[in-house]
């Protein structure tokens, strides 16, 4: 993709041409690349379930399979509801966003991002090699899944996107 189209809530359009194309990776490929780079940089990767973390000592400690280990630093990929670090808490509804989207078996040349009036969130159309990822995200405390679905359907129809693909189910995501 060599361009991004931004559409304001008042329907003003701006197209940004980019001298270098953007590459969009699947989550699986991106995660693998990040792990490879960390390993190449000298990180010791341990694929285990961390049961507890202690950040009260000079160096952080973590418990794996009943054994406490010490590290210079920790990088935790524990998700939005991280209960491992005592000073964290589960996210509240007003801190979450809901997403809905479609896997559409067609392609486009540009990324499209559309903002809506009086709406906390946005609609996207991200071209992939063999399909479009088209979706919407919005604040769970401000919008219902029915509202998101309606906005997304309007966008799909207005932009001539043939929605014969797999429908993704609504889910909560980190804001």
pLDDT digits (tens, 9 = 90+) for 116-128: 999 989 999 998 8
More reliable by pLDDT, 93 or 10: 10
- Given a cut of 60, whether residue 169 has pLDDT beyond it is no
The pLDDT, as a whole number, for residue 88 is 67
- Given a cut of 80, whether residue 87 has pLDDT beyond it is no
Yes or no: say if 108 and 124 are a contact pair by the CB < 8 Å rule: no
- Percent of the chain past pLDDT 90, that is, above it, reads 31
What would the mean pLDDT of 83-104 be, rounded to a whole number?
A: 76
């Amino acid at each position: 993709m060599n361009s991004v189209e931004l559409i304001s809530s008042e329907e003003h359009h701006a197209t940004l041409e980019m001298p270098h194309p953007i590459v969009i990776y699947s989550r699986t490929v991106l995660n693998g690349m990040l792990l490879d780079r960390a390993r190449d940089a000298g990180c010791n990767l341990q694929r285990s379930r961390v049961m507890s973390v202690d950040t009260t000592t000079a160096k952080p400690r973590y418990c794996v399979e009943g054994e406490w280990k010490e590290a210079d630093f920790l990088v935790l990929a524990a998700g939005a509801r991280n209960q491992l670090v005592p000073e964290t808490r589960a996210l509240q509804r007003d801190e979450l966003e809901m997403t809905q989207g479609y896997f559409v078996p067609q392609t486009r040349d540009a990324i499209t991002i559309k903002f809506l009036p009086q709406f906390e969130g946005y609609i996207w159309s991200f071209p992939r090699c063999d399909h479009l990822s088209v979706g919407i995200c919005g604040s769970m405390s401000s919008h219902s899944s029915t509202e998101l679905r309606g906005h997304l359907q309007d966008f799909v129809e207005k932009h001539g996107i043939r929605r014969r693909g797999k429908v993704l189910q609504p889910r909560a995501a980190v804001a």
